[in-house]
Amino acid sequence: MADITFDIVKHFGVISEEKSGWKKELNLVSWNGRTPKLDVRDWSPGHEKMGKGVTLTQEEATQLAQLLTASLAEPAT
């Protein structure tokens, strides 16, 4: 299996943090030298290890933001 390379181009912020030190973060990440995408995933302290996550293009992130805004405006059921 080939090694996966990544470069965190920009760190936007931490969404949550576990007692273990792992953090769910929003970053702009280039995977295997490709065009950077927005990325939400768990990272170990120091970014040595990562959990499963989701990468989004700018268009996908815009659509997600619109859906989140609409869903958060609705009363909780």
Band of the pLDDT at 9, cuts 50, 70, 90? very high
CATH code for the domain in which residue 22 is found: 2.30.31.70
Residue 43: CB atoms within 10 A of its CB come to 21
Number of domains in the chain: 1
Q: What residue numbers bound the domain in which 11 lies? A: 6-71
Asked if residue 76 belongs to a domain, the reply is no
Q: Is the pLDDT of residue 1 over 90?
A: no
What is the pLDDT at residue 14? 98
Distances (CA, A) of 6 to 9, 19, 20, 71, 73: 9, 25, 23, 32, 36
What is the pLDDT at residue 75? 80
Over range 35-59, report the average pLDDT: 96
Reported as a single tens digit per residue, the pLDDT across 16-42 is 999 999 999 999 999 999 999 999 999
